[in-house]
Amino acid sequence: MQRAEPFPYRIEILYSAIDKCYVARVPSLPGCAAHGDSPEEAASEARAAAVAMIDVMREHGDRLPSPDWLRDSHPPTPS
The pLDDT score that the predictor gives to residue 79 is 47
pLDDT the model gives residue 6: 82
Secondary structure of 56-68 in the HEC alphabet? HHHHCCCCCCCCH
Run of H or E residues at 22: strand 21-25
1-35 pLDDT, tens digit per residue, is 566 678 899 999 999 999 999 999 999 999 999 99
pLDDT at 44 over 80: yes
Question: How do strand 12-16 and strand 21-25 relate by DSSP bridges?
Answer: antiparallel
Q: Over the chain, what is the mean pLDDT?
A: 88
Spans of all domains in the chain: 12-61
Between CA 13 and CA 44 the distance in angstroms is 11
- Rounded Cα distance, 21 and 15, in Å: 6
Question: 10 Å Cβ neighbour count for 65?
Answer: 17
pLDDT at 70: 65
